[in-house]
């Protein structure tokens, strides 16, 4: 499997015609999610506002000022979306992360159905959480 970058992900989705193909791609991506440790699967690391259960943890490298996220979800498709988000943010500084338009990135992949507000699966809540955990 090639290393994931925002560009390789964009190529994967550019080849998808129907929603079902996008879901199949998400399933593939879900396998590459940097997973949080079982000990980190605690209440404090849950993301509120998701219909599915989602956890996010972050490590900060003071030397490079870079953030590295790990995540988990009981929903495989959400793990796929998490993989995409973490590919975009991991290794960046807080300032760089805050400058990103993550919702826009998902929209470009034609995954905007994941962003609908209220009663949704709460990807917006995950994006907010990523930004809240990183200092701008």
- Determine, following the binding rule CB under 8 A, whether residue 53 of this chain makes contact with another protein: yes
Structure token digits, residue 110? 């034609």
CB closer to another protein out of 31 and 59: 31
User: Is residue 50 flagged as an active site residue?
Assistant: yes
Catalytic: which of 9, 12, 29, 50?
A: 50
Contacts 24+ apart (CB under 8 A), 105-109: 105/6, 106/81, 108/10, 109/9, 109/10, 109/13, 109/22, 109/84
Q: Mask of contacts with another protein, 8-27, x by CB under 8 A?
A: ----------xxx-xxx--x
Tell me if 54 sits within 8 A of 78, measured CB to CB: yes
* Cβ–Cβ under 8 Å, residues 104 and 127: no
- Is residue 77 close enough to count as binding another protein by CB under 8 A? yes
Name the one range near another protein by CB under 8 A: 32-40, 49-57, 62-70, 124-132: 49-57
Contact set with another protein (CB under 8 A): 18-20, 22-24, 27, 51-53, 73-78, 113, 121
């Amino acid at each position: 499997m090639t290393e994931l970058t925002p560009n390789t992900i964009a190529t994967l989705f550019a080849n998808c015609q129907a929603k079902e193909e996008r879901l199949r791609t998400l399933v593939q991506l879900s396998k590459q999610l940097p997973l949080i440790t079982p000990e980190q699967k605690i209440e404090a690391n849950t993301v509120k506002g998701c219909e599915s259960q989602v956890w996010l943890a972050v490590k900060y490298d003071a030397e490079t000022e870079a953030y590295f996220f790990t995540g988990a979800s009981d929903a495989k498709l959400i793990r796929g979306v998490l993989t995409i988000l973490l590919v975009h943010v991991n290794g960046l500084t807080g300032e760089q992360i805050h400058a990103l338009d993550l919702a826009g990135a998902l929209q470009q992949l034609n995954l905007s159905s994941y962003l609908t507000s209220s009663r949704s699966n709460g990807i917006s809540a995950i994006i907010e959480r990523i930004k809240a955990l990183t200092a701008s």
